[in-house]
Structure 1
Amino acid sequence: MILLVLSASILILVVTVYQYDEQTKDYNIQRFERKEAIAQKTIELELTNKTTYAVNTENLPKIFQNRIYEISSINKLNITIYNLEGRLLKTSIGSAFEKLDNTPLTDYIVSELAQNSNHRILKNKEIDGTSYQTSYSYIHDPKFKRIGILELQFTQDNSEIEHELREFIYRLSLVYVLMFLLAIAFAYFLSSYITRSIKTISDKMQHTRLNERNEKIILNKASSEIEVLVAAYNNMIDQLEESAAKLAKSEREQAWREMAKQVAHEIKNPLTPMRLTVQSFERKFNEEDPNIKEKLAEYSETLIQQIDVMSSIASAFSDFAKMPTQKKEKIEVISVVKLALDIFNEKSVKYQTKHKELYAFLDKTQLIRIVTNLIKNALQATENEENPLIEVDVLSEKDAIKIIVSDNGKGISKDVKDLIFEPKFTTKSSGMGLGLPMIKNIIEAYDGTISFTSEVGIGTVFTVILPKK
C-alpha cells in the first residue's frame, strides 16, 4: 500500500511536469503565431496603403525606416528584413550605440524557404538559456510579387509559468506527503490487525510440546481464513494429546519389558554358578570325609558370594528406579569430596583444588555417590594403562560448584558417545550400565548438568555442575 501511494505520487508528479511542459510549448507556439499574423498584416497594410515610396526591394529600408520599431514594440517581436538573396536590409534589433549583426541569411534557409510549399519556415533555438522562436516568410508587394524576406523572432519568457509550476508542485507535494504519512499509519494498523491473530497462532505453535499439556487457541474476532487455521491447530492439539498418551503408555510398557529382561538376565548370571555349586556338593558329599567341614565352608562361601551378587543387582535396580529425593542441607563440598576419595587406595587418584572451603545446599550422600561412581568408571578406564592418572578438581563458578574428573584411560569412541547416559548401556565386560544414568538423574534433580569430552587413546573428562542453592 505504501509503495503504491509512493509510486502514484511520483507518477503523477512526472505526468504533471510533462503536461505543463507540453502546454507551455503549445501556448508559446500559438502566441507566436498570433503575433506573427498581426505583424505580417501590419507590414502588408504599410506596403499597400501608407507608403509613398515605390514598393520594391530597394525601398524596403526607407519604407520601414522608423515604422519597423513601432511594429516591433507593439507586438514584442524582433523584426528583420532581408532581400531575396538573404542580405540584411533593415532590423529592429540594436540602436545607434550598438553594433549591428550584418550576417546574411544562410543559403540553406534561403533555399529551404524557396522550396517550402507554405513559403514559411519555423525555427526553435536556445542561446545562453533563453529560448527563441523564429519564422521566415516572404514579403510581397501589392501585386503579390516577392520583394524580400521577413524574419520574426520571439523571445520566450516562461518564468511566470515555471513559477506557477513550482508552486503547484510544492502544494501537490504537501498533499502527497500527508497522504503518504496517512498511508503508513493506516498500513501499520491494518497489518497489526491482520497479523495479530497470526502472531497468536505462531506463539502457541512455538510453545507446543509433545510431553506437555498444550492450550488451544481461542480468538473472538478473526477472518474466516484465520478461523480455518485455528480450527486446524486445535484439531492438531487434540490429536497430539492422543498420540502423546499412546506414546507414553507404549514407552512405559516397553520400559517395563526391557527392565524385566535385564533383571532376568542379571539374575540368571549368579544362578548358574549357584546351581553348579549345589550339584557338585551333592555329588561329592561324604560324611566320613575328614575334610568335610573345609569343603562345606568352601561351598557356603561360593553360595554367599553369588547371593551377594544377586543382592547388589537388586540394589542397583532399586537405586536406578527410585528418583533421588531433593534433600538439601548446607554442606562443605571440599571435605565431602575428599571423604568420597578416601575409600580409594589407588595412588593414581589425585585430588586438587585451590579452594579451602566451598559451601552448597546439597545431599551429602548423593554427592558422595556421584564422585565415587565417576572415580570407579575412571579406574576401570585406566586398568590397562602403564601410568594411570585420575585427577579430581573442585571449582567455584558464581552460583555453581564444578566438579571435574579426568583420566588418561582408553577414552570413549564417537560411535557410543550418545549412549553413555542410556540405561543398560556399558562398554565394560561386567556391570549393568546403570551407574551413569543413576547419577545423571541425581544431578538433574538438583537442576545441575553433567557432560564429558573424550578422545580415544588420550582420556576422558567428566564435568559436573551443581547449583550452590
Structure 2
Amino acid sequence: MIVLILMASILMASISIIQFKNEAKEYHQERLERKESAIKEHINYVLSNTTYPLTTNNLDLIFKDKIHELAQIHNLEINIYGLDGKLLKSSKASFSVDNVSPPIPKYILKLVQSSIEKRYVDIKNIDGQKNRSSYSQIKDEKFKPLGILNLPYVEDDSFYENELQNFLIRLAQVYSFMLVIAFGLAYFLSTYITKSLKTISDKLSETSLNQKNEKIVLEANSKEINLLITAYNGMVDELEKSAVKLAQSEREEAWREMAKQVAHEIKNPLTPMRLTVQSFQRKFDPNDPELKQKLSDYSKTLIQQIDTMNSVASAFSNFASMPAQQNETLNVVSVVELALDIFNEEFIDFESDEKVIISKIDRTQLIRIITNLVKNAIQAIPEDQEEKSILVRVKKEQNNVLIVVKDNGIGMEEQNLHRIFEPKFTTKNSGMGLGLGIIKNIIENYKGTITFDTEFGTGTTFTVSLPIINS
C-alpha cells in the first residue's frame, strides 16, 4: 500500500510537470502567432495609408516613426529587414542602422522563401532561457514581397513555474497526508493479521523433540491462519509419536551396544583361559619337579581372567560402565610379561630395557590392553606365512612408560587408517571391532595415548604411552 502511494505520487508529479511544460510551450507559440498577426495587420494598414512608393528601399522611411508606435502598442520588439537580410529599421531606442548590425542568416532566408506560409520561427536557448524569433515576409497590396518582419520573443515561464511549484506543494501535502494514513492502516492491519502468526511463531520456536509440546488454542479470523494452526497441532501429535518411537529406538540401541561391549569384554578373558587350560593339559607331567609352581602360575592366570569377567558382569548388572579404575602400585614389566604367558605362540618375544618400572595403574585394565593388542597382532599374521614375529617391548621414556607391540603381519591399507579406532570397524572376518576402541578409551582415561605405524604387506607397530603415576 505504501509503495503504491509513493509510486502514484511520483507518477502524478511527473505527469504534472510534463503537462505544465506542454501548456507553457503551447501558450508561447499561440501568443507569438497572435502578436505576429496583429502586428502584420497594423503594418498593412500603415502601408495602405503611406504616401511613399511601396518599395523595399522606402520601408525605412515609411516606418521611421511608426515602428516605435507599433512596438509600444503591441509591447514587443520589431525589426524590419530587406529581402537580402539586411536590417532596415528596428524599434530599439538606442539602435542606429549601420554596417555592424548582423543580417539574417542565409539558411533562414531560404526557409522563409521555401515555406508555404513564407514564415519561419527560429528557437534558441540563450543563457538557459528559450528565445523564439519569428521571420515572415511583408507584402504590398499585390502580394509583392517588400521585406522581412522579425519579432524576437523571450519566453517568460515564471508564471507557469510558480503555478507548477504551488501545484507540487499541494500535491505533496495531499500525498503526505495519504502516506500517514497508509502507514497507520498498514500498521493496524499488519498487527491484526500477524497477531495470530506471532503466537504460531512463538510456539514453533519453543517446539522441541525432547519436551512435551503444547498445542495452539486459538480461533483466528483468517481461514488460512486457522489451517496453519490445524497443521501445527497435527504436527505436535506426530512429533509426540515420533519422540516415543525415537526414545524406544535409542533404548534398544543402547542395550544392543551394551550387549556387544559386554560380550566382547567377556570374550577377551575366555580366550586366554582356554589357551591356558589347553597348555596345562598338553604340558602336564605328574613327575615334573616344578609342578606346584606351574600349577600356581596357571591358577593365578585363571583367577585373574575370572576376576575380569566378574567385574564386567557386575558392571553390567548395575547398569554402569565398564569396570572402574582400581589403581594399584605395580611393576609394569612383570605384569606385561605375565599377560604374555597365556599365549602359546613361540614367535612372541618380550623385551624390556629395565627390569622394574613402577607405576600406579589398574592391573586388570593393563592386562586387557596387552591381551587385546597381542591378540590383534596374532590375527594380523596369515597362518600360511613362514616367518612370524611379534615383539612386545617395554621401556621408560621421561615420565612415561612405553609399551610397543610390533608384528610382521599384512599391515593395514591406507583407506582404513582413519577408521582403525572406530567402534564396530574391523578388517577381520570375525569380531565386532570394539577392541581397539575400548582400549583407546582406557588409555585416554589415564591421560595416555595410543599410536600406530603400519605399512601394507610389512606389518604394524602399536605404541601405548602411559604416564607413570606416582603414589
Give the alignment's TM-score, normalised by structure 1.
0.64
- Report matched runs for 1:352-371 at 5 Å: none
| Matching residue of 2:338 | none
Sort the Cα spacing of 1:78 and 1:16 in 2 relative to 1 into closer, same or farther, 3 A: same
| Matching residue of 1:138 | 137
- Report matched runs for 1:47-446 at 5 Å: 47-49=47-49, 51-95=50-94, 102-184=101-183, 186-188=185-187, 190-191=189-190, 193-221=192-220, 223-257=222-256, 259-260=258-259, 263=262, 266-267=265-266, 273=273, 304-318=303-317, 320-321=319-320, 343=329, 386-388=395-397, 414-415=418-419, 419=423, 426-428=434-436
Given residue 17 of structure 1, which amino acid in structure 2 is its aligned partner?
I
Using the TM superposition, give the Cα deviation of residue 414 of structure 1 relative to its aligned residue in structure 2, in angstroms.
3.9
Distance 2:463 2:73 in 1: 111
Sort the Cα spacing of 1:294 and 1:129 in 2 relative to 1 into closer, same or farther, 3 A: closer
- Higher mean C-alpha deviation, range 181-190 or range 118-127: 181-190
Distance 2:176 2:238 in 1: 52
Using the TM superposition, give the Cα deviation of residue 453 of structure 1 relative to its aligned residue in structure 2, in angstroms.
9.8
| Matching residue of 1:398 | none
Deviations 1:126-157 (A, max 9, x none): 22233222222222223333222211222221
Distance 1:241 1:428 in 2: 39
Using the TM superposition, give the Cα deviation of residue 92 of structure 1 relative to its aligned residue in structure 2, in angstroms.
0.7
| Matching residue of 1:30 | 30
SS of equivalent residue, structure 2 residue 83 = coil
Using the TM superposition, give the Cα deviation of residue 417 of structure 1 relative to its aligned residue in structure 2, in angstroms.
6.2
- Asked if the contact 2:2–2:179 (Cα under 8 Å) also holds between the matched residues in 1, the reply is yes
- Higher mean C-alpha deviation, range 162-171 or range 118-127: 162-171
Sort the Cα spacing of 1:417 and 1:230 in 2 relative to 1 into closer, same or farther, 3 A: farther
Distance 1:342 1:202 in 2: 59
Distance 1:453 1:73 in 2: 114
- Asked if the contact 2:86–2:102 (Cα under 8 Å) also holds between the matched residues in 1, the reply is yes
Could you say what the CA RMSD is over the residues aligned between the two structures, in angstroms? 5.1
Sort the Cα spacing of 1:425 and 1:389 in 2 relative to 1 into closer, same or farther, 3 A: farther
Using the TM superposition, give the Cα deviation of residue 28 of structure 1 relative to its aligned residue in structure 2, in angstroms.
0.6
Using the TM superposition, give the Cα deviation of residue 25 of structure 1 relative to its aligned residue in structure 2, in angstroms.
0.2
Deviations 1:26-51 (A, max 9, x none): 011111111111111111122224x3
Distance 2:54 2:68 in 1: 19
Distance 1:408 1:295 in 2: 26
Distance 2:3 2:403 in 1: 67
Given residue 12 of structure 1, which amino acid in structure 2 is its aligned partner?
M
Sort the Cα spacing of 1:208 and 1:461 in 2 relative to 1 into closer, same or farther, 3 A: farther
Distance 1:133 1:171 in 2: 32
Distance 1:248 1:435 in 2: 29
| Matching residue of 1:16 | 16
Sort the Cα spacing of 1:99 and 1:86 in 2 relative to 1 into closer, same or farther, 3 A: closer
Sort the Cα spacing of 1:390 and 1:246 in 2 relative to 1 into closer, same or farther, 3 A: farther
Given residue 31 of structure 2, which amino acid in structure 1 is its aligned partner?
R
Using the TM superposition, give the Cα deviation of residue 174 of structure 1 relative to its aligned residue in structure 2, in angstroms.
4.0
- How high is the sequence identity, in percent, across the aligned residues? 42
- Asked if the contact 1:216–1:237 (Cα under 8 Å) also holds between the matched residues in 2, the reply is yes
Distance 1:119 1:136 in 2: 8
Given residue 147 of structure 1, which amino acid in structure 2 is its aligned partner?
L
Given residue 173 of structure 1, which amino acid in structure 2 is its aligned partner?
A
Distance 2:202 2:38 in 1: 82
- Asked if the contact 2:122–2:132 (Cα under 8 Å) also holds between the matched residues in 1, the reply is yes
Using the TM superposition, give the Cα deviation of residue 297 of structure 1 relative to its aligned residue in structure 2, in angstroms.
7.4
SS of equivalent residue, structure 2 residue 78 = strand
- Higher mean C-alpha deviation, range 207-216 or range 173-182: 173-182
- Higher mean C-alpha deviation, range 58-67 or range 94-103: 94-103
Distance 1:436 1:310 in 2: 20
How many residue pairs match? The answer is: 389
Sort the Cα spacing of 1:419 and 1:76 in 2 relative to 1 into closer, same or farther, 3 A: farther
| Matching residue of 2:347 | none
Using the TM superposition, give the Cα deviation of residue 56 of structure 1 relative to its aligned residue in structure 2, in angstroms.
3.1
Given residue 250 of structure 1, which amino acid in structure 2 is its aligned partner?
S
SS of equivalent residue, structure 1 residue 321 = coil
- Asked if the contact 2:327–2:361 (Cα under 8 Å) also holds between the matched residues in 1, the reply is yes
Sort the Cα spacing of 1:34 and 1:252 in 2 relative to 1 into closer, same or farther, 3 A: same
SS of equivalent residue, structure 1 residue 78 = coil
- Asked if the contact 1:136–1:149 (Cα under 8 Å) also holds between the matched residues in 2, the reply is yes
SS of equivalent residue, structure 2 residue 40 = helix
- Asked if the contact 1:408–1:459 (Cα under 8 Å) also holds between the matched residues in 2, the reply is yes
Deviations 1:334-363 (A, max 9, x none): xxxxx997857779xxxxxxxxxxxxxxxx
Using the TM superposition, give the Cα deviation of residue 79 of structure 1 relative to its aligned residue in structure 2, in angstroms.
1.0
- Asked if the contact 1:83–1:89 (Cα under 8 Å) also holds between the matched residues in 2, the reply is yes
Deviations 1:81-112 (A, max 9, x none): 12222222211124268989532223332232
SS of equivalent residue, structure 1 residue 134 = strand
Distance 1:3 1:168 in 2: 22
Sort the Cα spacing of 1:9 and 1:385 in 2 relative to 1 into closer, same or farther, 3 A: farther
Given residue 230 of structure 1, which amino acid in structure 2 is its aligned partner?
I
- Asked if the contact 2:394–2:404 (Cα under 8 Å) also holds between the matched residues in 1, the reply is yes
Sort the Cα spacing of 1:99 and 1:266 in 2 relative to 1 into closer, same or farther, 3 A: same
Distance 2:95 2:21 in 1: 39
- Asked if the contact 2:80–2:148 (Cα under 8 Å) also holds between the matched residues in 1, the reply is yes
Deviations 1:343-394 (A, max 9, x none): 57779xxxxxxxxxxxxxxxxxxxxxxx978x968x9599856445668xxx
Distance 1:461 1:295 in 2: 32
